[in-house]
Amino acid sequence: MHLRPDEEAAAPEQYFTSENAERYRETADERGIEELGVAEHVFRFVQSLDVWGHPWFRHWARDDIDQYCTFVREETDLRLGIEADFVPGREDRLANLLEDRDWDYVVGSVHFLRDDAVDLHGETGWEQWDVWRSGGDPERVWRRYFETLGEAARSGLYDILAHPDLVKIFAGQLPVPDGDLRRFYEIAMDGIAESDVAIEVSTAGLRKPVGEIYPAAPFLEMCLEAGRPVALSSDAHLPEQLGFEYERAVSFLGDLGVTEIAVFERRRRRLEPLG
């Protein structure tokens, strides 16, 4: 989950509070979720500018990462995580940022292919950075996306791979490649198989134009065959989104024979029974 809503105006004093954390915890209790962690986006922190100076990062970077860590450790009972974009070529810089802090878990995500985002279509002011502008060839974008995802897994920087087929986010609004999509998943699978990452199953995709869980079942099947464990997320940015559609996620996982999910403490993973 994220304590911070997506809106720009929200100031740290509004959401990095024990009261706000408590609102998520209450919803978690109501919905039978015991293990709860917060993973703010790295680009919300000024220190992320040491990793990458993309305009998206420069636009959002306001908060102090150490204040965030101290707040989560001292004023909440949440696991301390971070969602850190994978930026090819900046692995050492990201490693430096991560190494200095005492995370429970680090989530890796691919939102950008070089300078273009896969998930900013239709965002006013960001047209220039939209990989789908002027129709973005889906074959090419999907290939690049899964290449980058495989590299992210292989980098060893991450405990969890977030929303693994995010590239499908606008399916229905924008074209997706034809036919069996496993030819794309295959591209990422070597990197994933050689890594030690857990694969995030996220219900956030159900709130997006695609209207599907991330990742698609065939993708997760391939990861399971490669021996990867599963982590579960609703990617909530508001307390009411916590555990969003988890019944569907649990039956999705049950259909694939998944009975345990990965939880993390000080970057050590253990498996807990699901449901």
> Is the CB of 76 or the CB of 109 nearer to Zn ion?
109
148 binds Zn ion (CB under 5 A): no
Between CA 9 and CA 48 the distance in angstroms is 19
109 binds Zn ion (CB under 5 A): yes
Between CA 195 and CA 198 the distance in angstroms is 9
Q: Which stretch binds Zn ion (CB under 5 A): 20-28, 103-111, 184-192, 198-206?
A: 103-111
CB of 47 to Zn ion, least distance (A): 18
Chain-centroid distance, C-alpha 237: 12
Between CA 193 and CA 196 the distance in angstroms is 8
CB of 36 to Zn ion, least distance (A): 18
Cis ω for the linkage preceding 5 (within 30 of 0): no
Residue numbers 28-57 binding Zn ion by CB under 5 A: none
Q: What's the number of CA atoms in the CB half-sphere (13 Å) around residue 240?
A: 1
CB of 166 to Zn ion, least distance (A): 7
Say how many residues touch Zn ion, by CB under 5 A: 1
> Is the CB of 161 or the CB of 230 nearer to Zn ion?
161
Q: Residue with CB nearest Zn ion?
A: 109
CB of 204 to Zn ion, least distance (A): 8
Angle between helices 18-30 and 65-75 (to 10 degrees): 60
Binding site for Zn ion (CB under 5 A): 109
